[in-house]
Structure 1
Amino acid sequence: MNYSQIESFLTIIRLGSLSKAAEQLYVSQSTISQRLHSIEKEYDVVLLNREKGVKSVTLTHEGERFYQLALRFETLYSETKNLKATSGEATISIGAVDSVHNYVLKDIYSKVFHEIPDIRLAIHTHQSNEIYYLIDQNNIDIGFSLQDRILKNVRVQKLFEEQMVMIQKRKTGSVKSKVENSRLSSKKQLFINWGMDYQIWHEKHWGPTSNTFIQIDTAKMLGDFLEEEEMWAIVPVSIARDFHGKGLVDVFLLKDPPPSRSCFQVEKEGMNGRIKQVSELILASKAEIGEIVRPWNP
């Protein structure tokens, strides 16, 4: 495997088609196809779903895994290529779920970048259950997981805990601040899986998650769906506060509230000086984070 193969694969994913990738890289489409085939043959995998008549590309299960490896390969290649120019810099790799990155820590990342000289941040999105493995394998330096685990040589500290609330498209006039769970229809729910404790609570009121009609996996998809009348979703208060501040939703507490969610900062023991600096600055920002995740006060 070489860089041109990785570059071609990533360009296909980023642009959504082989033809656009070929145009971007100034090579023929057959060259792009050959590079992709070479990777698949070398590792005996199929990376892309090839459906007749469908122009856009989608990743197979193996393709999803390879995509994460390809991103790391790209980062390492770039660092190696620019080693001389960036000899005084350090790259700190951070992994977390989408909702933590975008609604809780985005301003903290900016603070880290501006207050600690000569560092570069590589911020990646991962599922909570992947974070511990990636830390253990030294694939990321600092992780933020919604799960608490005990793992040898890994340090875990609770960073924050936040309330879960219900949101719905904003209406004119006054609205009730608390809602009976039984008044909410599962047919109108935008379901996001917030973890095992949340699923157990959810099943008590609306039955198995298979009863829900729309399931999404990122908070950013909520905006369009919430445009439809009576659609509702349960989200962490950090997301609710962001949407409410933009005038998009009303926020409600439930009579039987969902369990709160906790976020844990995960690191390898004995981290180097630069990683430790970043870690300590994030932990020192708990007051700022606390303001973002403070309980909703109707």
Structure 2
Amino acid sequence: MRYSDIEAFLAVVKYKTLTKAAESIHISQPALSKRILQLETELGEQLISRRKGQRSIDLTEKGIAFVPLANRFMAVWNDIKNLDSQDSYPSFRIASSDGPHLYILQKVYNSLMSIYPNLTLKLRTFSYKECYQRIANGTLDLALVGANFYFDKITSVPVYSEKMHFICRKDSGYPSFVEPGMLDASNAIYSSYSTEYNMWFSHWFCGKCDPYIESDLILQVKEFLLNSKKNMWTFVPTSALDVFLKEPNLSMKEFSHEPPERIIYLINKIEEPSEYISAFKSILKTVIQDIEGIKLLL
């Protein structure tokens, strides 16, 4: 499997058209099509659908399933390319969803870099399951996740918990005290915050219809809430609450059947933790103690 073929495939995924994808990696459109075909031949699967007159490119089911594998291939490729620099500067590879990265961990990163100025931080955003898989295969050192899965030789420790809050637009017409029966899932913006939250959401809202929008990017949730239908609604964790409530058109309402608190777990290999992991935990504990509304569990 060649780097150039994977690069071509991911360009198509990003730009949705062969023309823009080819321009982005500085090759001709026929050359890009040839690379995609070579990749499909090697895999024995069709990755993109080809229909006459179709301008935008759609992925097949196999193509959609191949996207995370292609991204993983590129990440490993980049690690191999950076072997020389890794000899000079130690690296610390951390993953999380975007919320903890943005609202909890930034101060931790700043303190860590001041203690270890030559340390190279590699920050990634993956699904919870992929975080576990990458810890297991050694391509991550540590991750903060909202799910407590069982993986051999991986330790999972609860770090903090936070409440979930109902957020909607001020012109939505929802009362100050909201009942589940007042809400339509087709107006929901859903994020997979934690295992417990997912089960709670499924209990109250799934079965009738799918959420209007599903997004794992907390800032994208805010933009959809502001710019989509006025009766859209969502839940956000305490750590992100201020960002939403700073918007003059958004408000928080009381909810009759509150979601369970979101629990974030710190995961790493069971083997003796590195100096960096120990320092990270110590700094994280101090940072969380200073955040109002976040309950320290570490």
Same fold (TM over 0.5): yes
Q: How far did residue 231 of structure 1 move?
A: 2.6
Find the counterpart in structure 2 of residue 252 from structure 1: 253
Cα 1:185/1:17, change in 2 over 3 Å: same
Q: CA offset at residue 211 of structure 1?
A: 3.6
Alpha-carbon deviation of 1:259?
Answer: 0.6
Bigger Cα displacement from structure 2, 210-219 vs 26-35: 210-219
Counterpart for residue 104 of structure 1: 104
Rounded to whole Å, the distance in 1 between the matches of 2:257 and 2:48 is 44
Cα deviation for residue 22 of structure 1 reads: 2.1
% same residue: 24
| Rounded Cα–Cα distance in structure 1 between residues aligned with 2:138 and 2:30 | 37
Contact 2:147 2:195 in 1 (8 A): no
Name the CA distance, whole Å, in 1 between partners of 2:2 and 2:290: 47
Tell me if the contact between 1:162 and 1:293 (Cα under 8 Å) persists in the aligned partners.
Answer: no
1:167 match: 167
Residues 237, 27 of structure 1: CA spacing in aligned structure 2 closer, same or farther, 3 A cutoff? same
1:214 maps to 2:184: no
Partners of 2:22 and 2:113 lie apart in 1 by 35
* Whole-angstrom distance in 1 between the partners of 2:192 and 2:79: 36
Shift of 1:6: 2.6
Instruction: Rate the CA distance shift 1:285–1:207 in 2: closer, same or farther, 3 A.
Output: closer
Please say which of residues 22-31 and 76-85 is displaced more in the overlay. Answer: 76-85
Counterpart amino acid of residue 217 in structure 1: S
Q: How many residue pairs align between the two structures?
A: 289
Counterpart of 2:232? Answer: 231
Provide the secondary structure at the position in 2 that maps to 1:284.
helix
1:6-21 equivalences under 5 Å are 6-21=6-21
Deviation at 1:215, TM superposition (A): 3.4
Please show how residues 56-95 of structure 1 align to structure 2 within 5 Å: 56-95=56-95
Q: Cα–Cα, structure 1 residues 226 and 167, in superposed 2: closer, same or farther, change >3 Å? A: same
RMSD: 3.2
CA 1:117–1:283 in structure 2 vs 1: closer, same or farther (change >3 Å)?
Answer: same
3-state secondary structure, aligned to 1:198:
helix
Distance 2:67 2:115 in 1: 32
Which amino acid letter does the alignment assign opposite residue 281 of structure 1? F
Residue in structure 2 matched with residue 142 of structure 1 by the alignment: 142
- Out of 176, 179, 182, the position equivalent to 2:177 is 179
Distance 1:207 1:289 in 2: 32
Moved more, 104-113 or 138-147: 104-113
- The Cα of 1:209 is off from its aligned counterpart by 4.7
Distance 2:288 2:139 in 1: 26
**Structure 1's 49 and 271: CA in aligned 2 closer, same or farther, altered over 3 A?**
farther
| 2:26 matched residue in structure 1 | 26
Unaligned 5+ runs, structure 2 = none
Residues 289 and 209 (structure 1), Cα distance of their counterparts in 2 relative to 1, 3 Å cut = farther
Q: Per-residue CA shift, 1:49-102, capped at 9, x if unaligned?
A: 445544334444443453333334334433443443552123333232333334
Amino acid in the other structure paired with 2:266: Q
- Counterpart position of 2:280: 281
Query: For residues 38 and 76 of structure 1, what CA distance do their matches in structure 2 show?
Result: 21
TM-score using structure 2 length: 0.80
Q: 1:224 to 1:151 in 2, by over 3 A?
A: closer
